[in-house]
Structure 1
């Protein structure tokens, strides 16, 4: 019974149920795209025969499958413009070459598809409907043969190009990114974002997909988004029930953006901390200033000497002393009161940020330092250790 259930599960759907909105978006777009494509092709009135346009050659049947990919799964590598345009065109060229050299239909059918697949793979333009293009050439050999290799360019390449043009516009208008194949490197985190983003280059992601034989099914850009989402989800559930509000510090020492760095240095010495939040007169958070920021300001790359006397002479020549706004870090990770503890761990584990500001609509309401986080983790560990001991004592009693 278990074996039968496993077989039935393997034969069942491999794709999750679609959302109604996405399903309607794709289906309506496919209908609009194919209709516009037919209209545009008819305007061109090509290819021409002795009696005028041949309606059977104005549109190729595999274009329906290309439409399905371009509108329903626009993020798939198989649906991208290069794959579709080059795949369909080269397959048509292969099909025409086969019908001109092979006169046995049964042999030409298999040979056309085989050679078309090989050509697509060599050109990195794998597009499943294109195999149908090659087969279609053989099945309609009597109509295609008079056109020769021109058939590959009109109607095949023309049809595909017009359809892809409509697909690009429609997907953009309905919120889908198309084409979408080039992996985007992870940039610096903007203020307000939280969570650890694994820094992986596009080449690394591509190598992983190729090693797992998944490069034809998912692109590097999609894999990067999946990794981000998985890390974010894992971080949120790492310490379920523990939120930022439970561990953040409410007694805040802040600095003003125009505060001179000499005064900030005095605050560091007085309060024995490593980071101060910078807050404007309107109460809005603007950035973080750390001890490392002050050190970098004192040891500028253009300094000719690092000696004490040289620094004093250089300081005496400076008319205006640098202020917090000149040295602070503006792009930092921030959280809210309800951010899970796991996200805080991600932010502070990166190493560049010593504390995480807690904001409410841009206003600073607290801060979580590494010391706060370590204390929270130690408390959680202590509670976890005591719980089994209490249970054991209760059972002994």
Structure 2
């Protein structure tokens, strides 16, 4: 098979974990290591190593400054709203700062995580505090109250779809300060827990947006990753299906459906770039073009369509700058008349020259079209044409038109790649 092959027959593009072959001594042969063996110790070390990449220094600084500002404001609010207690032992309002620190880590460092979203943080912290107070008031044994508070808080958070790991620390801290919490009662869950969590989240929303991060979590659009109806190479996946995939893999607490859609879209874009590595648009584009200028009457454009048997004509200014595309469909849409059904479309277009106010190319051309350069990979060009919104793609050098690729050109290139000359 020639380079690239047919789009629908590309098993080499499938994303999978390569299978390893048993080396016979507890090791495995790395299929990419030219026979090198991966020992069990190395695999264990790799499994216990870092699971996330190191963020850029600017991102680390951004998250740390935001968390510091938010926690400082929460500390002042805790002091202002501190409920007077007479019981001995640690003040429960001060212990609240510890789990809020974990909330700040999520809200500022990983604001796209479902665990960091306002609903999860606000409801999770509040309901965990309520559970903790209820356990303190009903269970006398400290050893039983500690485990029971965290267990019930986790159940409540999961039932409310408000899973927030730091909230378990609030439930635990409530039990650890049982004597003081008994005097405050259930009001502790609302002030300071609910109040301070809300303040921290407001700071997170403002700070993240000011520094270029999206928070709260981006909700899925009605289409992802492509509008329904587009016949592109990229699959149309419904939001409900994305959510089902995440739940099936146990990843719904780590990534949202909207972010998964963005990852899928980016992955398909990258795959398109490498679909025909080494083949660029400049190798298949047509350079000897039939063009029109913006002021050309539609009657003349119709003559060009009939004379050259083409379906798309680029519109170029006298300075060579690309202006737009005119297709046969554009002409039909503008000049179609219900009377005279016996006349063909091109005949009616040719008669339009007799009209006083005959439209020109600039009146009907499509200005917003996808364009590429001579160095655009062929895979990206395929993806653009496969969307079905345009019949041809202009090739530009800066703003100047240097070529055009039609679907016919693309089909010919694919056929040549699939059946290269000189092969049997």
Residues 150, 168 of structure 2: 8 Å contact kept: yes
- CA distance in 2 between counterparts of 1:41 and 1:198 reads 50
1:25 aligns with 2:62: yes
1:116 aligns with 2:153: yes
Q: In the TM superposition, what is the alpha-carbon distance from 1:349 to its structure 2 partner? A: 1.9
Q: Which runs of 5+ in 2 are unaligned?
A: 1-25, 28-39
Residue 395 of structure 2 corresponds to 358
- CA distance in 2 between counterparts of 1:268 and 1:274 reads 6
Residue 374 of structure 2 corresponds to 337
- CA distance in 2 between counterparts of 1:50 and 1:103 reads 20
Residue 394 of structure 1 corresponds to none
Residue 81 of structure 2 corresponds to 46
Residues 75, 180 of structure 1: 8 Å contact kept: yes
Residues 179-188 or 239-248, more deviating: 179-188
Residue 395 of structure 1 corresponds to none
* 1:197-216 matched pairs, under 5 angstroms: 198-216=235-253
SS across alignment from 1:255: coil
- CA distance in 2 between counterparts of 1:126 and 1:12 reads 26
Counterpart among 248, 263, 285 of residue 226 in structure 1: 263
Residues 138-147 or 321-330, more deviating: 321-330
Residue 101 of structure 2 corresponds to 64
1:74 aligns with 2:111: yes
Output the TM-score relative to the length of structure 1. 0.83
Residues 233, 383 of structure 2: 8 Å contact kept: yes
Greater helix fraction, Structure 1 or Structure 2: 1
Residues 60, 133 of structure 1: 8 Å contact kept: no
Q: In the TM superposition, what is the alpha-carbon distance from 1:281 to its structure 2 partner? A: 4.9
Q: In the TM superposition, what is the alpha-carbon distance from 1:95 to its structure 2 partner? A: 1.3
The CA deviation string for residues 10-32 of structure 1, in whole angstroms up to 9 with x for no partner, is 22221123322222222232222
- CA distance in 2 between counterparts of 1:360 and 1:385 reads 34
* 1:85-104 matched pairs, under 5 angstroms: 85-104=122-141
Q: In the TM superposition, what is the alpha-carbon distance from 1:343 to its structure 2 partner? A: 0.6
Q: In the TM superposition, what is the alpha-carbon distance from 1:39 to its structure 2 partner? A: 3.1
Output the TM-score relative to the length of structure 2. 0.78
Distance 1:222 1:49, change over 3 A: same
Residues 109, 138 of structure 1: 8 Å contact kept: yes
SS across alignment from 1:62: helix
Residue 194 of structure 2 corresponds to 157
Distance 1:234 1:291, change over 3 A: same
Q: Which runs of 5+ in 1 are unaligned?
A: 190-194, 390-397
* 1:2-13 matched pairs, under 5 angstroms: 2=27, 3-13=40-50
Q: In the TM superposition, what is the alpha-carbon distance from 1:356 to its structure 2 partner? A: 0.9
Residues 198, 227 of structure 1: 8 Å contact kept: no
Q: In the TM superposition, what is the alpha-carbon distance from 1:282 to its structure 2 partner? A: 5.1
- Give aligned pairs, total: 372
Q: In the TM superposition, what is the alpha-carbon distance from 1:383 to its structure 2 partner? A: 4.0
Residues 113, 255 of structure 2: 8 Å contact kept: yes
* 1:187-202 matched pairs, under 5 angstroms: 198-202=235-239
Residue 179 of structure 2 corresponds to 142
SS across alignment from 2:215: coil
Residues 91, 134 of structure 1: 8 Å contact kept: yes
Q: In the TM superposition, what is the alpha-carbon distance from 1:114 to its structure 2 partner? A: 1.8
Q: In the TM superposition, what is the alpha-carbon distance from 1:88 to its structure 2 partner? A: 0.8
